[in-house]
Structure 1
Amino acid sequence: MGANEYYMPTDWRIKGDIREVYEVCSNFKDYHRWWPEVYLDIQVAGTDKETGNEAYAILSKGKLPYKLRWKSCKTAEYAPFSLSLKASGDLAGHGTWKFEQDGEYVNVRFDWYVNAEKPLLKFLSPVMKPIFRSNHYWAMGKGFESLKRELERRRRAGIST
């Protein structure tokens, strides 16, 4: 694995129905509303030429004082069980969300294979990789907390799938 290559798996276990969890996690353009600590802005960026799917321009950040500009689009979708995406820009690679109902909980797994292409991150990855990984896991922790709040908000508002 190259110095700027990262594999960062994340596992969440959240009370809920697979369809409602999938609906929130698969709606990329709404991430900046319910996951605001990380997703600062998301704009529709046209159609991805390779997949024909809607692409999004994303501005995101972690706990560390830098921002990432990247694009993403869905590459495969098997609702409500899995969703794959690709990334380009400051982050380049692919990820897959997997969802499994387990009683009253949903097990969520996100496998993120990404290269840090932002010049500063790429240059510093050989020595800063553990810190950059920690930054990613901080962001995912914020996502888990935000997802819990979003599901509760949707339930209070009577929003169902």
Structure 2
Amino acid sequence: MRAPSATVYRLTTRWGFDAPLDAVWNAIVDAEHWSTWWPGMDCVTLEPGDAQGLGALRRYTCRGALPLHLRFNARVTDISPQQRIEGRACGDLVGMGRCRLGHAQGQTTVCFDWQVHTTGVWLNRLAPLTRPLLRWNHDQLMRAGGRGLERLLARSAAGSTVKKESV
């Protein structure tokens, strides 16, 4: 059964950082610690997957600016270190998510793509009215994540600079 078009979301977010690719990658793949830098995102690992994280199953809880919690489980279905992570979600959101990373001229880019539909009865019934609010809420959550990761990377860079200077 296909989800009604009003409940289907195709969401893309792009972040850019003046930071090394490995530092950004390490923060992205360490989902259990997102809550330390990404306001509104919580994650618990249910199954760790292999050494690279392939097959990992995690439970996410997302809280944006609206008084709304979305909970879903996601399993990592594909991973190319420092390039891409893909997963399938089920729960309040069902579908596919992808995170792609790139690096050029000192700039690391992160692109999140989500193709999901909502499953909550009230969300789906009110979708024609709430769709713009949910998109806005998603954008607020993602902006908070980008700012949080930027702060984390700046702290990490400052710490590595201090260490290099003291050697």
After superposition, residues 79-158 of structure 1 pair within 5 angstroms as 79-158=81-160
Of the three residues 2, 14, 26, the one matched with 2:17 is 14
Q: TM-score, normalised by structure 1?
A: 0.87
Q: Which residue does 1:4 correspond to in 2?
A: 7
Greater strand share, 1 or 2?
1
1:26 aligns with 2:17: no
After superposition, residues 34-113 of structure 1 pair within 5 angstroms as 34-35=37-38, 37-39=39-41, 41-46=42-47, 53-113=55-115
1:47 positional shift:
6.4
1:75 positional shift:
1.1
Q: Percent identity?
A: 25
The two structures, once aligned, show a CA RMSD in angstroms of 2.0
Moved over 4 A (4+): none
Of the two, which has the highest radius of gyration? 2
User: Secondary structure at the residue paired with 2:47?
Assistant: strand
- 1: CA distance, partners of 2:147 / 2:16: 11
Gaps of 5+ in 1: none
1:38 positional shift:
1.4
- 2: CA distance, partners of 1:102 / 1:52: 26
Native 8 Å contact 1:92 1:117 kept in 2: yes
Count of matched residue pairs: 155
Native 8 Å contact 2:13 2:112 kept in 1: yes
1:111 positional shift:
0.8
- 2: CA distance, partners of 1:98 / 1:92: 20
Gaps of 5+ in 2: 162-167
- 1: CA distance, partners of 2:14 / 2:60: 23
- 2: CA distance, partners of 1:120 / 1:31: 28
1:23 positional shift:
1.2
Greater helix share, 1 or 2?
2
